[in-house]
């Protein structure tokens, strides 16, 4: 079985990325991508896939905040992000994600609004703003 993710473009227009998904013991599922193995486990010591999804939003936003600060020689010491997910009570699906960028007192006043704009540049967030189509199909190998 293969999992294929498209971005809604005609196949001739897409830039493709391939990720191999394999299965381990119990609930372990591994993804091989760009030479790295990213492991998940629904019930074990490894992060659950959904936890990685949430973490990717926070760390991506953090990357852009750190990049913003470093490009202006602003120390990142004392800068941190706090992320919350707010769920719909009935479905338990995420209604909203809130990210607070905590800044030390000596953070330059003129950059306080701009650092929020930097956090919003997160590629993961942008994909949530315009979600891709996710198509799943079966392919029988060896036929």
Q: For residue 4, what pLDDT is reported?
A: 45
- CATH number of residue 28's parent domain: 3.30.300.20
Please tell me the distance from the alpha carbon of residue 103 to that of residue 24, in angstroms, as a whole number: 42
Classify residue 49: in a domain, yes or no.
yes
**Structural domain for 131, as ranges:** 2-137
Classify residue 142: in a domain, yes or no.
no
Would the CA dihedral through 70, 73, 76, 82 be positive or negative?
negative
Would the CA dihedral through 131, 54, 50, 96 be positive or negative?
negative
Q: How many domains is the chain partitioned into structurally? A: 1
Q: For residue 5, what pLDDT is reported?
A: 46
Per-residue model confidence as pLDDT tens for the chain (143 residues) = 444 444 455 555 567 888 999 999 999 999 999 999 999 999 889 999 999 999 999 999 999 999 999 999 999 999 999 999 999 999 999 999 999 999 999 999 999 999 999 999 999 999 999 999 999 999 999 86
Classify residue 29: in a domain, yes or no.
yes
């Amino acid at each position: 079985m293969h999992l294929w993710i498209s971005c809604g473009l005609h196949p001739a227009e897409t830039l493709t990325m391939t990720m191999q998904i394999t299965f381990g013991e119990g609930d372990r599922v591994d993804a091989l991508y760009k030479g790295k193995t990213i492991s998940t486990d629904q019930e074990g010591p490894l992060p659950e896939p959904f936890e990685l999804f949430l973490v990717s939003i926070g760390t991506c936003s953090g990357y852009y905040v750190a990049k913003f600060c470093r490009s202006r020689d602003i120390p990142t010491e004392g800068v941190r992000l706090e992320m919350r997910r707010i769920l719909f009570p009935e479905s338990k699906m995420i209604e909203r994600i809130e990210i607070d960028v905590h800044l030390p007192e000596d953070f330059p006043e003129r950059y306080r609004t701009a650092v929020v704009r930097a956090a919003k540049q997160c590629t993961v967030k942008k994909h949530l703003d315009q979600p891709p189509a996710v198509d799943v199909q079966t392919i029988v190998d060896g036929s």
